[in-house]
Copies of this chain bind each other. A is one copy, B any other.
Amino acid sequence: MLKIRQSGFTGPVWAVNPRAEEVAGEPAYPSVTALPQTPDLAVLAVPPEAVPGVAEDCGRAGVRALVVLASGLDATQARRLLHSCRRHSMRLVGPNSLGIAQTDPAVRLDAEFGGAFPVPGSAGVAAQSGGVGIALLERLAWLGIGVSSFVSLGDKYDVSGNDLLQWWEDDQRTDLALLHLESFGNPRAFARTARRVTRTIPVLTVDAGRSAAGRRGAASHTAAAATPTVTREALFRQAGVTATRGISELVDTAALLHSQPLPGPRGAVAVVSNAGGIGILAADACVEAGLSVPPLPDDVTAELAALLPPAAGTANPVDTTAAIGPAELLACVELLTRSQAVDALLVCLVPTALTPGADQDLLRTLLDGPARRRVPVTAVMLSQEIPTRCRPCADGGQLPSYADPTAAARALAHALDRARWLAEPPGVEARAADCDPDAARQLVADFLAAEPDGGWLDPARTARLLSCYRLPLTPSVLASDEAGTMAAARSLRGAGHEGKVVLKAHVPGLVHKSVSGAVRTGLADESEVRTAYREFAERFGDRLAGVLVQPMAAPGLELLAGVVQDRVFGPLVVLGLGGTATEVLDDRVARLAPLTEADLTTMVTELRSAPLLLGRPGFPGVDLTAVGRTLAGLSRMATDLPEVAEADLNPLIASPDGLACVDARVRLRPAAGFDPYLRQLRRPPATPTEEER
């Protein structure tokens, strides 16, 4: 109340309290209905048990929005609160919110109890955690970026990050959106909105709960299911959201995106320093952040050599030596920012032995110039105590300066990711030709009719389902005895690599087939096939439910591809390296379905092992068209059939001539909507219970 007054709110404010005459020096009204006018917004600073009653009063009085500060509402209180909001079409921030703030001079509302009045500026901030929200406000104020509007989302029964994104998209005062989200109520809606908004303004988030320990904390903290890292990463990547690993990284990146243009999508950084040792550390930091620090072209090094002292280093990093003056530094910056070989510039300055304050003089020269040049420029000031600053330039713009080259490099790397994302063609859904979704749906329906709880498909049904999406499953025959095995081997040999076949024991419950001696490869003739069959029969006895016979695949790179259904996020398509060794190395990329055409390429290039797929001197790579076709088919299948709980094509043996899927597993379960707990919170029952009326 006091804070709303002190912030200079331009509209009327009333205090309501049934048991006091006065609140913070203002007269108090006994109830909302007793107010002289109907307020637009009510801030409920009452204990949890009073929330439902007050909310209903507000709704009846015609209030249009609530901010609920209380935390720890029980399920009944939550339901009643939501019911009132829905019945009276009130929007709701919280509960467990610290409040909201709007710094527009026409409004100047500070209805949050976090600390100082947020410094007005251009960043929109929405935080699920109150503590994180306060820290963000404080750091944005230090930076000189400031806040356009702030919402402490709390438990997000109604207003979510998604709503804020839509608001900021049209808000002229906001040029940067900062989100802290620990859980997602409706990730698909979020993805849709974010994908659009990030085309206009940068959307940054702290990716919280990346570790199991962090997710354990998030689960107890937000009472919502924590999301696996790979799923969140896919969401952020596809929506163009800049996902950072902490508050400092978020703010460091905001400083750059707020003040500088984006780098060219090549990401070539020129590093300039007045102390060689610092330039080296900055170059290391850039490369480790995913940028490149390439040697400069000969004409540029020649010009630099003419400009700089004789002892200067003109490779990249450029070492100007401590003897450089402001005019030479400026000429050097002009030269590099004009060069087409340079996509971003990092200028590292240290105090020098020669002239006290020389680094400050050099920085001043930069600040006297234009804030924005052709490429982003960032300063690294080793003598700066505060980690990150936006320094005001003569032309009214800002130049970010960092105390630590690592922070500058990481911010530039995020800017590069954004530049590349913006350069990607907007998403056109990946085409999966010649699919037969009707047959697939029929297969799924038949299976679930027999198995209402779902389960794993047998090999034959697996093959049939996959074939509906043109997914390349190596032909196989399930034989039940020795004679059948021999016949199958005869019929399949011709399709095998070097005329060979593979036998796999079908032993229900067996997990690691290759380790348990249940796979025999490279069987060249009748006698080898017979021997292999008899070995299976002896080893597994009654457990042997059959033998799968396949033509042997040509040797190649083992990949895996598949679909996983996330309870909240929906289906994800995954691509990775397969095989035993690579399971430990965990080289995988995921995307939310449906995939776009661009995803089919970037999923390959984002793998650490991309060079193996793309090929390199002496190694031919694999059939990328076939990989793309597989991913598109999986995406289509996942989108068509929410009943596919998981599908695994593993291994997919990839060669220059194609893909062979040697083994696949598909699990079905009845399709469900959103998580029931979330649904309950977000969609209160249409008919309130007796108690709630």
Contact = CB atoms under 8 A, between A and B. Distances in A.
Interface string A280-303: 110111111000111100000000
B581 A582 contact: yes
Contacts of A71: 311
A676 interface: no
A512 B619 CA distance: 8
A594 interface: no
Interface string A630-674: 000000000000000000000000000000000000000000000
B275 A132 contact: yes
A281 B133 CA distance: 13
Interface stretch (A242-250, A485-493, A561-569): A242-250
A105 B548 CA distance: 84
Interface stretch (A30-38, A312-320, A429-437): A312-320
Contact of A288 (B206, B211, B558): B211
A208 B280 contact: yes
B311 A72 contact: yes
Nearest to A269: B213
Contacts of A330: none
Contacts of A278: 129, 131-132, 135
A211 B246 contact: no
A618 B511 contact: yes
Contact of A283 (B131, B217, B292, B311): B217
A273 to B, nearest CB: 7
Contacts of A210: 284, 287-288
A280 B217 contact: yes
A138 B281 contact: no
A110 interface: no
A277 B130 contact: yes
Interface residues of A, number: 103
Contacts of A426: none
Nearest to A557: B581
Given A132-B277, A382-B131, A213 B353 contact: no
Contact of A275 (B131, B315, B322): B131
A406 B246 contact: yes
A274 interface: yes
A283 B218 CA distance: 10
Interface stretch (A84-92, A169-177, A189-197, A383-391): A383-391
B217 A131 contact: no
Given A404-B248, A515-B618, A134 B351 contact: yes
A118 interface: no
A276 interface: yes
Nearest to A387: B387
A135 B217 contact: no
B129 A214 contact: no
A50 B209 CA distance: 63
A579 B385 CA distance: 48
Interface of A: 71-72, 98, 112-115, 127-132, 134-135, 138, 142, 180, 182, 206, 208-214, 216-218, 220-222, 245-249, 271, 273-281, 283-288, 292-295, 310-311, 313, 315-317, 319, 322, 350-353, 356, 382-383, 385-387, 403-407, 511-512, 515, 522, 524, 557-558, 577, 579-582, 584-585, 587, 608-609, 611-612, 618-620
The 5 closest A-B CB pairs, nearest first, are A129-B277, A131-B275, A213-B293, A211-B287, A221-B276
30 contacts: A114-B353, A127-B277, A129-B275, A130-B275, A130-B277, A130-B322, A131-B273, A131-B277, A131-B350, A131-B382, A132-B277, A132-B281, A135-B351, A206-B281, A210-B288, A214-B287, A214-B293, A220-B313, A222-B276, A245-B284, A246-B405, A247-B404, A248-B403, A385-B386, A512-B618, A515-B620, A557-B580, A581-B582, A582-B585, A585-B585
